[in-house]
Amino acid sequence: MEQTQPTQNGFLDRIRNHRLSATFLLLGVLSVGILAGSALTTTVHGKEQQINSADAAPLRIPPMTSTTNAFSTIAKQVGPAVVNINTESLPKQSTAPRRRTQRRGQSPDNDDPQQGDMQDFFNRFFGGQPGGGDGDDEDGGPSGGERRALGSGFIVDPRGYIITNNHVVDKADKIYVKLSSDSDNGLGRLARVIGTDKDTDIAVIKIDTAQALPTVKLGNSDSAQVGDWVLAIGSPFNLSQTVTAGIVSAKNRTIEDGPQSQFQRFIQTDASINPGNSGGPLVDMTGAVVGVNTAIYTQSSGSVGLGFAMPSNTVINVYNMLIAPEHKVVRGSIGIEFQPGVSSAVSRMYGFAKGGVLINRVTANGPAAKAGLQPQDVIVAIDDRQIKDGDDLVADIAPRHPGSTAKITYLRNGKQNTTTVTIGDRSKTVAEVAGNGDGDDNSPQKDDATQGKIGITVSAVPPALAKAQEISGGVLVTAVRPGSFADDLSPRGLDKGDIIVEINRHVVTDQAALTSIVNGLKSGDDVVFVVRNARARDKSNTFLGGTLP
């Protein structure tokens, strides 16, 4: 009994020792694992140990391969002749109060670019700035200080002649041109204006050079077709030599009303055009310039895919006149005014449904007046060539040299006549704007038989207004019923203040004459009104027509 107890105790001690050994072994293993993890972490993050990557193959820059396409070829070909244009306009002292004006499609004195849906090339979207110079306003605001404008251009003569937009250089005190080969430092080379034409927004400038400069190839814009690929090259946001691609979206596009629109028929493109592109080339897939990027349509100050370029054929004609000794564009004129877009009722009434131009007004002592043409005559041919419309007439007459003659075929009261007109200088045959009365009607208004059939109320024309408009009769429209026949005439309805002088080629002498004419009208008749606007300062006629329901 005395020997058994020690034996048992020894056995228990051995068990305890084994347990302790196992515990220490486990702790040792865990310690090694922790240390190994720490070492691994140090290796990955601390890079204290080197990993063998001898089996990794190094990358090599591959040899150049030919991936050139038509776009890149054209960009390399034309790019060296495209220039960046910067201008400076110094602050001007003025004693006149600043006016806030707004034209349709532009807000020259308004800092809010959302004022108009059409913000065109005379504004900030092509580098225009409110209230003055055109361009990105870098150093000065409307309150004063030096202003800088930004645009593009392209070299057409190795001696340094450059085509750009008039609005890029207009009113600039200094013009700087930077070639594609010039350093990014500095403003560039000083340029001077050779000539400008506001009607087409084209300008020619020149830089001095000791060596021949690269030039573009000019193309025939008539060959450009809707759907053709084109490239726009320029300096949008001062990012020179930027190339964008698109297609010709439309041709012969007009984007602005007024006299200038007679000479502004644009190529429309969806190539991205932005501020600074103005004056840069629009290039076809042969590398030829078919247009000068001039305007964009936008509602957000940026490109929305509607750009407009002046066709190269127009640009070439203007350029040739601007580099001539007179350095100005001379356009022919015969001294008439006409109304574009007359209704079919008007054309049927005056017998020119197949084409012609109805004369609204003849300039006193102008070429047409001297040749015997009168208001309401219809010009149907020039030198025996049929005239389609007013645009066709302008396109024919404008390029003719003042002093040359043209045979005019016209209709008067349905009878065809001919006369010879001596072409005049358009700048000298613009009609003088004469003053007129205020058009206020002080005579009592009364209902007229015309109210029920055509929807107007009229009164006698005040003597002062009749004298100002140089008429001896007529009736003054004092009210127009909304939705009536008179309200729906084409191209616009009758308005309060219109003076009706004729209906269907019958002179309206007074209210009784008007009533008699209207009573003779029946459903289905073409009805053509000859009217004058009492509040307009000119004395030209407007022709409004429709078919009586």
Q: What is the DSSP letter of 510?
A: S
Residue 219 has φ and ψ, to the nearest 5°, of -110, 175
Helix (H, G, I), strand (E, B) or coil at 83: strand
The alpha carbon torsion through 130, 136, 140, 142 (nearest 10 deg) reads 0
Q: Is 520 within 8 Å of 370 (Cβ atoms)?
A: no
- d(Cα 262, Cα 264) in Å, to the nearest integer? 6
156 to each of 86, 160, 161, 200, how far by Cα in Å? 19, 8, 6, 18
The amino acid at residue 438 is D
Query: Which positions ≥6 away from 65 have C-beta within 8 Å?
Result: none
- The secondary structure of 278-289 as a DSSP string is TT-EEE-TTSEE
- d(Cα 334, Cα 363) in Å, to the nearest integer? 9
For 542, other C-beta atoms within 10 Å of its C-beta total 17
- d(Cα 442, Cα 81) in Å, to the nearest integer? 66
Segment (H or E) for 26: helix 4-41
Q: Burial letters for 201-230: b for 16+ Cβ neighbours within 10 Å, e otherwise?
A: bbbbbbbeeeeebbbbebbebeebeeeebb
Residue 301 has φ and ψ, to the nearest 5°, of 75, 0
Query: Which positions ≥6 away from 69 have C-beta within 8 Å?
Result: none
Query: Where do runs of H (alpha helix) occur along 70-148?
Result: 70-78
544 to each of 99, 339, 349, 493, 495, how far by Cα in Å? 35, 10, 11, 7, 11
The residues that are catalytic are 167, 201, 278
Residue 202's nearest CA partner among 120, 291, 272 is: 291
The amino acid at residue 473 is G
Residue 110's nearest CA partner among 89, 124, 93 is: 124
Q: Is 474 within 8 Å of 448 (Cβ atoms)?
A: no
**Is beta strand 498-503 parallel, antiparallel or unpaired with respect to 174-178?**
unpaired
